[in-house]
Structure 1
Amino acid sequence: MIVLTAHGTRDPAGAEVIAELAGRVRARGAEVAVAYADVREPDVTTVLNGLAGRSGSADPVVVPAFLAAGYHVRTDIPQQVAASALPRAPVAEAFGPAPELIDVLVDRVRQAGYRPGDAVVLAAAGSSDPRALDEVSTAARMLSARLRAPVRIGYAATADPDVAAAVAEARHSGRRVLVASWLLAPGLFQRRLEATGADAVSAPLGAHPAVADLVVRRCAETPDTRAEPAGWDRTVRLAV
């Protein structure tokens, strides 16, 4: 059983993307329940409580659908797991800059009308955690290698440079500016990207089949922590 855990958004289109992604994962033969780390319900605690003692289902694995492992992945989700009736449910590695997602990102950029010579800004959600920002930098380097072109970084919130400032700086080159959305689903942050005045903005990664493949892979790669000895602190381990 996969507990697919997204950030959460008040935009119904964002929730629809997560529901579609869950459907694609189910089509690959997995049981899936959807949870949210913030903004929307149900949270991880509620979903795991509902699965506790349920017969006929595989033990749950929480898969964070996050493009970088910031506060929600390192703190909120482990705390919600620890507060549940299944406090040792394993938590998979967040999506991060997985190769599957870079493939999807390149597809979305090309669908947005990318032309060789365009100035490209990779736009991410942002985080106060430098480790999460490092993952965004890795994604930018991977995209740059695929496009064989420089890629700037901009953030929709929390970190600098602001995406609008990154677009304005890219304008100084005199080239078209394309914003590559390093977001999973539509919502407030995607609208911020679209308001930057860039010549083109790619769609979020969305419920692409390759994203569903990554969910299944993250689940399969996750060690089972349920048999850890008494006194083991899973929250500390997951925060490392």
Structure 2
Amino acid sequence: MTVLLVAHGTRNPHGVALIGDLAAAMRDRLAEHVAVSFVDVLGPSPSEALAGQGPDPVTVVPAFLGRGYHVRRDLPEYLGRRGVPPTRVTDSLGPSCEVIAALADRLHRAGRRAGDAVVLAAAGSSDPTSHQDVESVAAALALVLGAPVEVAFAAPSAKAPQYPAVSDAVARLRRRHARVSVASHLLAPGLFQTRLEHSGADVVAAPLGLHPLIVERACALARCTVPVAG
């Protein structure tokens, strides 16, 4: 089995390294070749990474926390190009039970206290499917924490005015709560995580990255024998 892990892409070297480390962790668990590609910012693209792979089918795992534009539009476009071998595309990393549990654990380890106001900080999108996904994650996380969870974006969109910037959400919640904790609905460090860390919150969780549950989810997707439609 050949596995291709597809991520967004970032200019931050730590973010790029994390995707490579995730692929390496999958490789160790699966005992299979796991390659890496990116849909934006840097290469190789999925079609470039798959060039010359031969006729055997490849399992493509989208390293995204939601089913937004990159998963539903960009990835199929790359995989449909001439010369790309047959692929089986799995579901994305999230939304999933593993992502919810990892978010709660990251918050706990960062120092979140009972009674803290909680913000679920996503990257940001104008895509309605992404909005549905992040809202479902916020609702599930609220059940786990036993506290309300508000959604905010690291990069707010004018097309989604219902989601404030993380710093604005923190400032507003600060007026009603003594402390504010931010759950990072991000996979890797980079510009967006830096914005969360500068949001003024008392607690900012680390990106989900190499959390054992995220590695577990990625490997489970790679092993899955039933394709999931994008």
Higher mean C-alpha displacement, 73-82 vs 84-93: 84-93
The structure 1 segments of at least 4 consecutive aligned residues displaced by more than 3 Å after TM superposition are 222-225
Equivalent residue for 2:218, pick from 208, 215, 218: 215
Partner AA of 2:147 in structure 1: A
Unaligned runs of 5+ in 1: 226-236
Equivalent residue for 2:190, pick from 176, 179, 187: 187
The secondary structure found in structure 2 opposite 1:14 is helix
> What is the TM-score when the length of structure 2 is the normalising length?
0.91
CA spacing shift, 1:197–1:99, aligned 2, 3 Å: same
CA spacing shift, 1:224–1:105, aligned 2, 3 Å: closer
Q: Deviations over 1:72-128 (max 9, x none)?
A: 111111101011522541211112221111111111101110100001100001211
**Is 1:197 aligned with 2:204?**
no
The secondary structure found in structure 1 opposite 2:171 is helix
Q: Give distance in 2, aligned partners of 1:210 and 1:200.
A: 21
Partner AA of 1:31 in structure 2: H
Match of 1:11 in 2: 12
Give the Å deviation of 1:143.
Answer: 1.0
Match of 1:80 in 2: 78
Equivalent residue for 2:50, pick from 48, 51, 54: 48
The secondary structure found in structure 1 opposite 2:89 is coil
The secondary structure found in structure 1 opposite 2:173 is helix
Q: Give distance in 1, aligned partners of 2:28 and 2:20.
A: 12
> Is the 2:58–2:86 contact (alpha carbons within 8 Å) kept by the matching residues of 1?
no
Unaligned runs of 5+ in 2: none
> Is the 1:70–1:128 contact (alpha carbons within 8 Å) kept by the matching residues of 2?
no
CA spacing shift, 1:84–1:116, aligned 2, 3 Å: farther
> Is the 2:68–2:130 contact (alpha carbons within 8 Å) kept by the matching residues of 1?
yes
Match of 1:230 in 2: none
Match of 2:65 in 1: 67
Equivalent residue for 1:39, pick from 38, 41, 56: 41
Q: Give distance in 1, aligned partners of 2:9 and 2:97.
A: 24
Equivalent residue for 2:136, pick from 135, 138, 145: 138
Match of 1:229 in 2: none
Q: Give distance in 1, aligned partners of 2:142 and 2:99.
A: 14
**RMSD across aligned C-alpha pairs, in angstroms?**
1.7
> Is the 1:178–1:198 contact (alpha carbons within 8 Å) kept by the matching residues of 2?
yes
Q: Deviations over 1:15-66 (max 9, x none)?
A: 111111111101112320001111121110101113135xxxx631111010
The secondary structure found in structure 1 opposite 2:183 is strand
Partner AA of 2:40 in structure 1: D
Percent sequence identity over matched residues?
Answer: 46
> Is the 2:4–2:59 contact (alpha carbons within 8 Å) kept by the matching residues of 1?
yes
**Is 1:170 aligned with 2:173?**
yes
- Residue correspondence of structure 1 range 150-165 to structure 2 within 5 A: 150-157=148-155, 158=157, 159=160, 160-165=163-168
Give the Å deviation of 1:224.
Answer: 5.9
